[in-house]
Each structure stands twice: as C-alpha cells, then as structure tokens.
Chains A and B, each alone.
Chain A
Amino acid sequence: MATETCVDAHFVKIEGLGKRYRADQPPVFEGVSFSIARGEFVCIIGHSGCGKTTILNVLAGLEAPGEGYVFMANRQLTGPGLDRGVVFQGHALLPWLSVEDNIAFAVRARHADWSRRQVREHGARFIEMVGLAHAARRKPAELSGGMKQRVGIARAFAVEPRMLLLDEPFGALDALTRGTIQDELLRICAATRQTVFMITHDVDEAILLADKILLMSDGPRARIAEIVVNPLPRTRQRETLHHDPLFYGLRNHLVDFLVHRAAGAEARSATLPRLVQFAGEGTGDASAEPGPVRMPVPARRMVSAAGRVHS
C-alpha cells in the first residue's frame, strides 16, 4: 500500500535532465528534476528558449536527453510510446485523412486486433467528446484552427495514454475559442483523471488548468526555479475564477516571476526549485514538503502587467 501511494505521488519522475545542442555552448537547461502524481495536471511556464518544448519532447521520447532520466510508473522511458499521448503545437493532423480517419489511424495503432467497426465506434466516442460529431467526415483543411486542435486532443485521448503531453496547444487560437477548449479540456481531464503535462505561455490558462505550475528561469542553463502549487480548488471554472480571493495573489506571483525574476540571478542560480504554497485565509498550515515558502495573500488589486507572456 505504501509503495503504491509512492508510485502514485511520483507517477512520473524526471531526474537531473539537461540538454546541450552544441558542445561549445552552455546547456539550454540543466538539473531539471520534478515529479508528476497520477491524475495531476502540471503546467510549465517560461520564456522562449528555456527548453520547455525539449523537456516535453524528452518526456514524449521523441528527443534523447543529454543527461538525466525519465521514469514513468518506476520504468525508465527511452523512446516514444503509446502510453504517452502528445498534442502537438501545430495540431499535426494528417491532412489527407478525414477527422474520423485521423482518429481511427491512432486507434488502429493502439488496437491492431480490433475490427473496423470497433475502431470506428471507439473513435466516434472521442470525436463526440470534443463536440465534433457533425464534422467527422471533413478533412482538416475544412476545419477552423480550434476544431483542428480539438481533433488533435481527441486523437491523443483516443489511444488512452497514461500521460498526456500538450505542447502549447492553444497558442494559435483566438481568445474565445481558447476559452471554450480550455473548459472542455478541464472537463475531460476531470472525468478521466488524466495525468497531464502541458506547456503554456498563458498565466491564466495555467491557473485555470494546472494543479502545479513549474516556473522556468531563462536559458541558457535554464532550470526550474519555482514549483507553485495552485491553491484554488479543483472545481475552478473560468467564469468564476477571478472572483476567488486567492486568484490575484497567485496571478501576480506568476507574472512577477516572468517579468522580473525569471532572468534574475536568484532564479538562475537555484539548485533546487523553491516550493511555493499559498496559504489562504483560514487555511491552516498545509505544507507537506520540507522547506516550503509561504506567500502572504496580497490585497486584491488589478495586475498591471499583461498576464500573457509574449515571446
């Protein structure tokens, strides 16, 4: 039982990851270690060039790390596999296949022994899930950007991976579409208890979706400077999110990091990430890990800096 909870808390474990693209240059990032619990939604934020995508590619097995290891359920990961589903930045749908064929392509890879009907029915469930049943026979070129990204998400879910990897999936979408798909993703992840690792540039997106937010300092030699535990309840919703008394404190903390501290010496020299937990009014001491840094909840005020990091 004890070992099982241990596996659950450290379902995915990343140890001492580092990557160097040229021998005569300093590594892009180094000493990156963190873990993801089963069913946890983790977002990583950082400026461009700090190696977020590389970390995600290493988790996906598409790129080999220079140093360090990745474990999932106590097994080391060395290559790509069906146990991890990837939603690519540019959706990466096969444009010569219709929506349902794109999904079926992935399902057939997972279940080679299934009949044509089984594959179709399984795929239809996931197309339904992202609300695209009416567009199932269309080709990707006939879909809007938001719809394409939904298909990408449905495809990743359809292979029922143990971990979902999202590389800034909503970056190219307009704000309205982004909001709708965020809601959908939140609903689906809550329903399936999916373990998720996601890259984002959007602070509000991270607060809405993530249980834990990793903040990366600037590269080269980027590292994870802070691990911020989202204090907002898991039932958070986009419409009511900004009414939560803890919201602006958290948001300001994240924006301040990106605007001021990401390039600072303190963030860049930290050997171990700082664990940041917000204590809300009335909540007692909830620190579980040693050496937490507790942030006081600041008075509610408007944030002047933009919540979205432009790069």
Chain B
Amino acid sequence: MQAPPRIQAALLSLLLFGVLLGIWQLATRPVADTAARPLSAAEAEYAELMGQTAATGEAEKSNGFPTPWQFAATVAGQLADPFYDRGPNDKGIGIQLAHSLGRVAVGYLLALAVAVPLGFVVGMSPLLQRALDPFIQVLKPISPLAWMPIALYTIRDSTISGVFVIFICSAWPMLLNTAFGVATVRREWLNVARTLELGRLRTAFTVILPAAAPTILTGMRISMGIAWLVIVAAEMLVGGTGIGYFVWNEWNNLKLSNVLFAVLLIGLVGMALDLLLAGLQRRVSYGD
C-alpha cells in the first residue's frame, strides 16, 4: 500500500474545514423574517424592562448560536487578554486553563509516583498480582466522578477533591500497564541478567525498566487522556476555577461563543498533552 501524499492529505483537510465552516455559516445566518418583523408593544416593553433597546432591528444576537464571524471576534477578544482577573466569576481563559492544568499535573504526577512503583512490584510477583487482582477489577470500572462525594466529604476541600479524582482515574491504566509490561519481559533478557550475575535491583533498573518502558508509557498516555477528560467534568461539578467551570459558567451566561471557544481549547490542549507523551513514548520504544 502506498502512503497518501502529505500535500494531498493537507489539502483534503483544508477542504473539509472549509465545508464545515460553510455549513456553520449557513446554519447560523440571521433569519430574515423574525428580525424584520416589528415588535409588538408588549415585546418592546419587555425588552425595555430587560434593559435592551427595542429600537434596533438588528439587535446583537448575544443569546443565539454564534456565526463563524462572531466566534472569530470572541476568540480574538479572549486571546487579546487571556490572563485578566475580575473577580471569582470573570477570569481570563489562560488563568482557567492554568488551574485545570495544575490540578491535572498534581493528580497525574501523584498517580505516577504511586502506580508505577506499585505496578512494578505487582508485575514481579505473581502472588501479589493474584492477591490484588480482585481489588483492581472492582475499583477500575468506577467512574471517577462517583468518587467525588466521598472525596468532598472526607477531604472537605474542593480543589484537593478535584486532584484526588484525577489521581484515582489516572492510577489504574498506569498500574495495570506497568504490571503487564514488567510481567511480560522476555525470559531471555532476564536469563542474560542472571548469567551476568546482576543483582535484583540492577536487573530491575537496567533490564526490566527499559524493557517495560514502552508499555508503561502507553499506560501513561491513556491515563493522561482520561485525566484531561475527567478534569472538565470534575470542575463543572466542583466549580470555582478551571476550564470546566468556565464552560459551565459561560453556559449559564448563555455566551455560547465562549463555550465554543473553551471546547475548542480543551481539544487543542488534550492533543498537545497526547503529543507530548507520544514523543516520550517514541524515545523509549525499541525495535525488535
């Protein structure tokens, strides 16, 4: 099979992007009859009570779905000043993202520090593997958000609870992948270590760790994906700060273009995190 040429693929992507923009533009174009219709007396009065000027026929559609052009204006506005802070309910997108990333980083790194060494030990010991298996099988499928009430009750701090939820959801893939990677290191390589009279610790660090590294990194990549999925939901629930809270807050403000912007940003940041770990994975992987 021939790999598709890069330029053609890029052109096709651009074309699809254009088509999507076109559909978006068509779907959100202002509908003529409602805008042109003169307002009734009651509607005008209501509008006045709501603090809007009824006179403008072309009222700014702040509560409608934004057109691509309106969205572009929002993006430009947000990016022009991403770090402003005007009280608890009005912070720039950069600050919100930093909060989310900070929580993910702390929860994820804690999970890494616990799950990888534990997975290493579990993978080396068939006894532990069997003994811990029922716990892992039960705990793994629990939705991380289900832990939230328990976390909130025991920890009594919403930020730490968010971190805990990230911790608990990213620990499992890392634990299981590390255990699997360590348990399936080729017997041959271990025999090489034995014939060279390497100690247990040296075997662990110079043979088992590099041999299992690609599998461990796969687990880390899965965990990062899950952590970034979960932080948005957790912040919606807990509130206060973060990109998830931002989405929910803008939904309550009915600022759909801000919601849309945040959604796009969540996707981009998620992609960047995945690329980061993919790069790491490439560095430790080996051909055989």
Contact = CB atoms under 8 A, between A and B. Distances in A.
B197 interface: yes
Judged by DSSP, the binding face of B is helix
Nearest to B192: A92
B58 interface: no
B287 A92 contact: no
B175 to A, nearest CB: 23
A21 interface: no
A20 B241 CA distance: 67
B211 interface: yes
Interface in A73-123: 79-82, 84-86, 88, 90, 92, 94-96, 105-106, 109-110
Contact of B211 (A62, A96, A106, A159): A96
15 contacts: A60-B191, A60-B195, A61-B195, A79-B194, A80-B195, A82-B195, A82-B196, A82-B197, A84-B195, A86-B191, A92-B192, A94-B189, A95-B286, A96-B211, A141-B286
B89 interface: no
Contact of A88 (B191, B196, B288): B191
B111 to A, nearest CB: 25
Nearest to B194: A80
Given A62-B191, A90-B188, A95 B288 contact: yes
A187 interface: no
Nearest to A156: B195
Interface in A189-203: none
A109 B196 contact: yes
Interface in B184-205: 186, 188-189, 191-192, 194-198
Given A92-B186, A95-B288, 16 more contacts: A60-B191, A61-B194, A62-B195, A80-B195, A82-B195, A86-B192, A88-B191, A90-B188, A92-B189, A92-B191, A94-B189, A96-B284, A106-B196, A109-B196, A110-B196, A139-B286
Contacts of B211: 94, 96
B197 A81 contact: yes
Judged by DSSP, the binding face of A is loop
B207 interface: yes
Interface of A: 60-62, 79-82, 84-86, 88, 90, 92, 94-96, 105-106, 109-110, 139-142, 159
Contacts of B206: 105
Contacts of A140: 287-288
Nearest to B210: A96
B18 to A, nearest CB: 42
A96 B195 contact: no
Contacts of A92: 186, 188-189, 191-192
B194 A95 contact: no
B197 A80 contact: yes
Contacts of A106: 196
Contacts of B189: 92, 94
A94 B192 contact: yes
Of B191, B196, B287, the most chain A CB neighbours within 10 A belong to: B196
Contact of A62 (B194, B207, B286): B194
Interface in B262-288: 284, 286-288
Nearest to A79: B194
B192 A159 contact: no
B201 to A, nearest CB: 13
B195 to A, nearest CB: 5
